């Protein structure tokens, strides 16, 4: 069978999808992210560059989205956060508080932003209904006494896996000037 260049170009996206799907296996989840290459340095170079290697930036290690979903349920994150297409328990021991919907969030923020939002929720305070309490601070609870580092890594991997959604409109929230805003409070228009 002879394949012309034009036909090969038309088939390339389909072949890429088949290869990706087979790499995902039967679990329906993308393969685990590969850890970044290590940065090698000497103690002298480390001190000479201000205590961190040149080009260094904190990166989340790869996690397991399926285990992150389990942590999402165990920590009862569903009491505040909705995820389209997910079937979480109908009740929780925690009070149901409206928080940001997480559908599609994986496309809009880096993993490190999600991690900081979980472990240090008052670092970035998005102003508006569902985000802040009457004290002006984040409504996000403190999980430092109940969450393991592994749960954090996997939970971030789960939220990062929530892709394909649109930026979320919040109904012209009055606290945000009546304009549709994305999850960081940026005007969408």
- Tell me: the pLDDT tens digits for 109-137? 999 999 999 999 999 998 877 788 889 89
- Work out the pLDDT band at 103, boundaries 50, 70, 90: very high
Whether residue 185 contacts residue 169, with contact meaning beta carbons closer than 8 Å, is answered with: no
Average pLDDT score over residue span 167-183: 40
Strand partners, 132: 138
Cβ atoms < 10 Å from Cβ of 157? 26
Whether residue 47 has pLDDT greater than 50? yes
H helix intervals, the chain:
5-24, 43-48, 65-74, 111-119, 149-161
pLDDT digits (tens, 9 = 90+) for 146-172: 999 999 999 999 999 999 855 544 433
Whether residue 81 contacts residue 102, with contact meaning beta carbons closer than 8 Å, is answered with: yes
Report the distance separating Cα 184 and Cα 58, nearest Å.
Answer: 21
Proportion of the chain above pLDDT 90, given as a percent: 39
Lowest mean pLDDT among 22-36, 100-114, 156-170: 22-36
What domains are defined for the chain? Answer: 59-165 (1.10.760.10)
The per-residue pLDDT for 186 is 43
Report the distance separating Cα 99 and Cα 155, nearest Å.
Answer: 16
Whether residue 36 contacts residue 59, with contact meaning beta carbons closer than 8 Å, is answered with: yes
């Amino acid at each position: 069978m002879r394949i012309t260049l034009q036909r090969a170009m038309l088939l390339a996206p389909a072949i890429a999808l088949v290869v990706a799907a087979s790499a995902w296996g039967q679990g329906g989840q993308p393969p685990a992210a590969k850890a970044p290459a290590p940065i090698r340095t000497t103690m002298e170079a480390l001190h000479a560059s201000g205590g961190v290697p040149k080009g260094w930036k904190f990166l989340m290690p790869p996690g397991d989205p399926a285990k992150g979903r389990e942590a999402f349920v165990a920590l009862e994150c569903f009491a505040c956060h909705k995820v389209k297409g997910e079937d979480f328990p109908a009740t929780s021991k925690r009070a149901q508080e409206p928080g940001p919907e997480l559908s599609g969030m994986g496309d809009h923020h880096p993993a490190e932003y999600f991690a900081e939002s979980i472990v240090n929720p008052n670092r970035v305070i998005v102003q508006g209904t569902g985000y802040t309490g009457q004290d002006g601070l984040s409504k996000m609870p403190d999980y430092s006494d109940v969450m393991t580092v592994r749960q954090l890594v996997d939970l971030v991997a789960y939220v990062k896996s929530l892709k394909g959604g649109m930026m979320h409109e919040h109904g012209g929230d009055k606290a945000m000037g009546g304009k549709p805003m994305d999850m960081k409070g940026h005007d969408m228009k």
